[in-house]
Amino acid sequence: MARDRMIRKKFWDDRKLAKVSRDSRLTFIGIWNLADDLGIVVADHIFLKSKVYPFDNIPVQAFDKWLGELKSHGFIKEFVYGGDIFYFLPNFKKHQTINRPNYDDLNIIKEIAEKIIDSLTDQSVNIHGSISDQSVKNHDGISDGSVPKEEIEYKKESKEEEEEEETASPSSLFGDSTVKHIDDLMPDCLKDRVYYVEHICRQLKITPESVPKYLEDFNSYLKSTAVTMKTVKDYRVHSQNWIRKKVEREGQNNKPEQQSLYKKADASRYQ
């Protein structure tokens, strides 16, 4: 949901902002309105373009270029969570005064988002790739060209700090590499109320009661493709993406029925 945001007068003569194009600066302002109250927004370029420039026929390639300028100059930071790509605005809290933040309408559960933000804003962090347990463990062997640009990886100053963070962060946050049968993975996900069930309900706007049925359908789909074993991490990411697509299809199928109901309601007003 779009929100009203403040544009400070210093924005217009900021020398750092002068390094990016005018269109990038305007896009940056638009992203403020679309970000949640923690400064996080889903990095769906088609969605963002449709919201920031609803009346302009702008090629996606041009919009991608503007976002690329913002990323290269540090105005937005990209990270991956739950199989989705997000942008974080590092100076969001510095420039936006929010008296009553709405933590019920966040892109990521507050507790998880704050951990990610702390990592993104840590001065000792060296950004390279994706947020994952495995990427942190392997940080010693990372080079700039060894990981995709879409992902972010955190390089800690010491092995002790890395192990301490892994202990503090629940493994269910991102999943692990343990291989299990999908019939065992499903109840594990359902038991994880905070980091799986509540997260997926918040993201997809579905009820907790509907999650078991979606997972049953997902497991049936996997078995139909002869897949019965998955890692915990892969199962979580794959199931969320699969359920998202199913929810979207269900929404599309319900549109004609909803439109019919609206027409009947409008007609009844004039009878």
pLDDT tens track, the chain, 271 positions:
456 676 666 666 677 778 888 998 888 888 888 888 788 888 888 888 888 888 888 888 899 999 999 988 888 888 888 778 889 888 776 666 666 766 677 788 878 877 877 877 763 344 434 444 444 344 343 334 433 443 344 333 334 434 433 333 344 444 456 788 889 889 988 888 877 888 888 888 899 999 999 999 999 988 888 888 888 878 888 888 889 888 888 886 665 544 554 455 555 544 4
Name the pairing type of β-strands 84-88 and 77-81. antiparallel
Closest CA to 210 of 253, 252, 250, 256: 250
The reported pTM is: 0.43
Q: Which residue has the tokens 């291989």?
A: 179
Residue ranges per structural domain of the chain: 1-100, 179-269
Distance CA 230, CA 209 (A): 24
Alpha helix (H) residue ranges in 35-172? 45-52, 60-72, 92-95, 110-121, 133-137, 159-168
- Let me know the angle formed at the C-alpha of 147 by 202 and 18, rounded to the nearest 5 degrees: 80
Alpha-carbon distance of 124 to 130, in angstroms, equals: 16
248-271 b/e (C-beta count within 10 Å ≥ 16 → b): eeeeeeeeeeeeeeeeeeeeeeee
Alpha carbon distance 79, 10 (integer Å) = 28
**For domain 1-100, which architecture applies?**
Orthogonal Bundle (1.10)
Q: Look at residue 17 and give its three-state secondary structure.
A: helix
* Composition of the chain by helix, strand, coil, percent to 5: 60, 10, 35
The CA-based angle 165-166-169, given to 5 degrees, is 80
Roughly what angle, to the nearest 10 degrees, separates helices 182-191 and 232-269? Answer: 60
